[in-house]
């Protein structure tokens, strides 16, 4: 008994060790999902307006009724408006700006005087140009010019005026422009008077639109003053009023005077009502905290909802209030409640995910063993759960906008339709529970996802994007109509649901096709889109194969036809089989003339080589094919075909020649003549091994007929089985029978070979003739 327990423990330990990364990834997925999954009470009270109550709900305790969101927001806005924004009237700003105005005009006066000096010294240089005082005059001119330039530079750094404009050249008495003859003292007084006029009214340092309170408070002395926000101006308004005063002050023909005065006012007139943001927000926070969050009370044992009654707005409000109260618990009881709730969510989510991952373990074990693929699937699931939480609970969008269809299509394209359907079903059930056991959502999403997966299960053309969009639109209309008629819903509600589903129908295929490329690059997955690109005969490798090894190319194309037909016969990945067949012999590009199908001149290179060297050259085309695949970036799925298409079989022709020539056959090292492997490990690679061998063998038959070909197929298939070449491949005997096909059938390799060799079916006239034909073969 103890020994059995120890054996079981050892097996469990080995399994945990073998699948530790898969288990860790799935465990992380469950944790992420649990973090965004609502509590059980939330699910219990998850109703929408006009839903029918599943059970009678009695208040377990006395609790306050929360205000509706709209009413609470209205009260909060009212509280914000009732607290005046505080502004401080600053005399320091006024005094400082008046000093700046004085400084501005002093600098203008200094530049004017310097301009006069430069002009005088320039005239003096001209007069003294032939006299002894020329050098002194020139020195004085240069000194005056430097001083003028320094004054202008200082002016430009102190103010934002552009002194190169005609306006400022005139004001500064530039010699290239007319002189500004208006009194500077009078201009300064005009600027100060107009600025003081606006400061006396008051200028906000924020825009009026930023003031949300109904009143403002001006702090300018010991006693603050309450006022209407419109009693004062923001800076834009103050500038507008100042321009009006300037226009009234100067005649219309004094354009230069008007423009210069207004430009100086805009430069120097700053706000003198400074917003005290910190104090205002602190007072408003106090006001907001005093706003009641409740509007009544539900007493203990009071009936909230009666079974089979329609949910009203009032009932919904009470249920949300009860949910909020039951989500709050303090102390040890609260901790225990939180722990049990998380544990329950973890187990429940784990059970739902187990449906999908159990399917992978049983039917798609190669996918489960690939940790990158498990990580990809987990990311798809987790992202869908996060979007469900954000859309439904945070943004309060319709549940039909949750990107479940994108996840379903992605899984189908990246893997296959069965994984897509199981994954979509799992995530739909989980989200359906998450948003309140919403059976409508589950039905609609299952149907829509199934239609989408059906359309993308075999990607062959870009037009399938549009076909998927139209199919989803039709499916959405059908399911919304069906659910609406069944539930007796109004047309308005049905139109809203249909609008959301139409948005998803259009965006989901487009988003999916965009994401597939990222998944392929990030996780090394090979989709049908990539395979279709590799089918192009103009790809570099296939182009070289046509030109440098035409016989091998034709052989690969024929094998591709056979492999695709065989895959269709058993429901395997036919496109992958064809592409794998096209590239399986690319290693022969290294030495194409050493392979019989490329020897057209009658010369055989192997005649001048030893048998072991010939076998080495033949065997090396597998290794060189993998090297070429790496060089040209072929996907791993294609490299598997290159590596396994001969498995661990022998180069039989040279091996038998070596046996015939050897005096002692025990001296022959069989490993020299054996391919390195590995053996095929998928149905597709197993199909290629069989088709590759049969195609080559059938071509060697003299006067081929259907009986000879059928016997050749049986013999080669039997040999592969006896040698154990298909031991690691999940092909069954029934599938091998389907791969062979029948003469009169449409699937399998026999119908294809019949077409290649143009063989007519001949029926012997009597059993003796049939026996004679069989013995001749």
CA distance 700 to 705: 12
As averages over each run of 10 residues, the pLDDT of the chain (777 residues) reads 65 76 93 83 60 78 83 89 92 93 91 88 86 86 90 90 85 70 85 93 92 90 85 93 92 86 92 93 91 85 82 80 65 64 88 94 89 94 95 88 95 92 96 87 94 88 85 93 84 89 94 89 86 91 92 93 93 92 94 84 76 88 94 92 93 83 73 88 94 89 85 92 91 92 86 74 46 44
Q: Is 764 left (phi over 0), alpha (psi -120 to 50) or beta?
A: beta
| Torsion of the alpha carbons at 434, 439, 442 and 447, rounded to the nearest 10 | -170
CA distance 355 to 360: 9
Beta bridge partners of 85: 216
**What is the CB-side half-sphere exposure of residue 457 using CA atoms within 13 A?**
15
Q: Where are the alpha helices (DSSP H) in 571-610?
A: 574-583
Contact 420, 411 (CB under 8 A): yes
99: CB partners within 8 A, 6+ apart: none
Sort 744 into a burial class: Cβ within 10 Å, 0-12 / 13-18 / 19+. Answer: exposed
Query: What stretch of H or E contains 88?
Result: strand 85-89
Separation of CA 241 from chain center: 53
CA distance 427 to 356: 9
CA distance 495 to 503: 12
CA distance 516 to 406: 10
Beta bridge partners of 225: 218
Angle between helices 404-414 and 491-523 (to 10 degrees): 40
Q: Measuring CA to CA, how many Å separate 47 from each of 41, 69, 127, 388, 587?
A: 12, 17, 101, 17, 65
Q: Report the alpha-carbon angle 41-46-48, nearest 5.
A: 160
123: CB partners within 8 A, 6+ apart: none
CA distance 412 to 457: 6
Token pair in block for residue 13: 């330990």
Closest by CA to 410, choosing from 401, 419, 402, is: 419
CA distance 701 to 711: 11
| Torsion of the alpha carbons at 25, 357, 688 and 737, rounded to the nearest 10 | 170
CA distance 82 to 139: 71
Closest by CA to 445, choosing from 466, 418, 472, 419, is: 472
pTM for the whole structure: 0.64
Token pair in block for residue 564: 């695709």
Q: Name the DSSP letter for residue 402.
A: S
Contact 627, 664 (CB under 8 A): no
**What is the CB-side half-sphere exposure of residue 348 using CA atoms within 13 A?**
18
pLDDT of amino acid 295: 84
CA distance 261 to 194: 10
CA distance 536 to 460: 13
CA distance 703 to 283: 102
pLDDT of amino acid 657: 84
Separation of CA 146 from chain center: 63
């Amino acid at each position: 008994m103890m020994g059995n327990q120890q054996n079981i423990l050892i097996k469990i330990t080995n399994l945990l060790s073998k699948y530790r990364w898969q288990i860790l990834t799935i465990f992380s997925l469950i944790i992420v999902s649990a973090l965004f999954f609502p509590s059980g009470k939330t699910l219990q009270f998850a109703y929408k307006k006009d839903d029918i109550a599943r059970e009678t709900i009695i208040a377990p305790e006395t609790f306050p009724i929360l205000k509706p969101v709209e009413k609470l927001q209205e009260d909060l806005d009212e509280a914000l408006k009732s607290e005046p924004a505080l502004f401080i009237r600053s005399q320091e700003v006024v005094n400082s700006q008046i000093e700046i105005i004085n400084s501005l005009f002093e600098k203008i006066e200094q530049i004017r005087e310097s301009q006069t000096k430069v002009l005088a010294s320039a005239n003096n240089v001209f007069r003294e140009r032939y006299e002894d005082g020329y050098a002194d005059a020139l020195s004085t001119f240069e000194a005056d010019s430097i001083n003028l330039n320094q004054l202008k530079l200082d002016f430009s750094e102190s103010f934002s005026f552009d002194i190169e404009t005609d306006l400022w050249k005139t004001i500064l008495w530039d010699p290239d422009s007319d002189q500004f003859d208006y009194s500077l003292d009078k201009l300064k007084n005009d600027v100060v008077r107009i600025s003081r006029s606006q400061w006396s009214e008051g200028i906000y340092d924020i825009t009026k639109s930023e003031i949300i309170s109904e009143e403002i408070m001006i702090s300018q002395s010991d006693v603050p003053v309450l006022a209407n926000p419109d009693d004062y101006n923001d800076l834009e308004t103050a500038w507008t009023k100042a321009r009006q005063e300037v226009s009234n002050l100067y005649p219309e023909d004094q354009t230069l005077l008007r423009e210069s005065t207004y430009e100086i006012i805009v430069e120097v007139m700053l706000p003198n009502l400074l917003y005290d943001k910190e104090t205002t927000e602190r007072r408003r926070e106090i006001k907001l905290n005093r706003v009641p969050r409740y509007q009544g009370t539900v007493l203990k044992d009071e009936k909230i909802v009666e079974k089979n009654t329609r949910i009203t707005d009032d009932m919904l409000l009470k249920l949300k209030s009860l949910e909020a109260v039951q989500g709050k618990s303090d102390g040890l009881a609260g901790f225990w409640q939180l722990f049990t709730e998380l544990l329950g969510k973890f187990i429940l989510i784990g059970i739902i995910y187990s449906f999908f991952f159990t399917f992978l373990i049983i039917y798609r074990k190669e996918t489960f063993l690939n940790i990158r693929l498990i990580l990809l699937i987990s990311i798809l699931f987790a992202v869908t759960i996060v979007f469900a939480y954000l859309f439904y609970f945070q943004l309060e969008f319709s549940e039909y906008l949750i990107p479940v269809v994108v996840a379903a299509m992605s899984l189908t394209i990246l893997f296959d339709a069965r994984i897509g359907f199981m994954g979509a079903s799992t995530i739909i059930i989980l989200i359906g529970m998450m948003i309140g056991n919403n059976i409508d959502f589950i039905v609609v999403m299952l149907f829509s996802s199934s239609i989408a997966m059906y359309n993308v299960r075999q990607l062959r053309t870009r037009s399938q994007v549009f076909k998927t969009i139209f199919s989803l639109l039709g499916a959405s209309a059908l399911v919304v109509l069906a659910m609406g008629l069944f539930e007796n819903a109004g047309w308005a509600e049905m139109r809203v649901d249909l609008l959301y589903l139409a948005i998803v129908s259009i965006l989901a295929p487009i988003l999916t096709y965009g994401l597939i490329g990222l998944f392929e690059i990030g996780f090394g997955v090979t989709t049908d889109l990539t395979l279709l690109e590799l089918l192009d005969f103009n790809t570099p490798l296939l182009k070289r194969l046509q030109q440098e090894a035409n016989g091998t190319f034709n052989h690969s194309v024929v094998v591709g036809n056979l492999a695709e037909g065989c895959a269709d016969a058993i429901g395997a990945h036919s496109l992958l089989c064809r592409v794998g067949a096209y590239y399986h012999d690319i290693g022969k590009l290294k030495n194409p003339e050493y392979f019989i199908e490329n020897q057209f001149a009658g010369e055989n290179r192997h005649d001048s080589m030893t048998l072991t060297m010939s076998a080495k050259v033949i065997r090396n085309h597998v290794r060189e094919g993998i090297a070429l695949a790496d060089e040209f970036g072929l996907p791993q799925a294609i490299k598997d075909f290159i590596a396994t298409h001969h498995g661990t079989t022998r180069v039989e022709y040279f091996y038998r020649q070596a046996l015939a020539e050897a005096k002692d056959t025990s001296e022959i090292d069989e490993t020299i003549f054996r391919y390195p492997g590995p053996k095929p490990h998928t149905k597709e690679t197993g199909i290629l091994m069989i088709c590759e061998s049969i195609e080559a063998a059938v071509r060697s038959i003299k006067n081929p007929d259907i009986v000879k070909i059928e016997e050749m197929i049986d013999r080669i298939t039997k040999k592969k089985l006896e040698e154990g070449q298909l031991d690691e491949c999940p092909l069954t005997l029934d599938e091998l029978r389907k791969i062979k096909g029948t003469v009169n059938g449409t699937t399998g390799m026999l119908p294809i070979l019949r077409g290649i060799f143009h063989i007519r079916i001949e029926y012997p006239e009597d059993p003796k003739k049939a026996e004679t034909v069989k013995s001749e073969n």
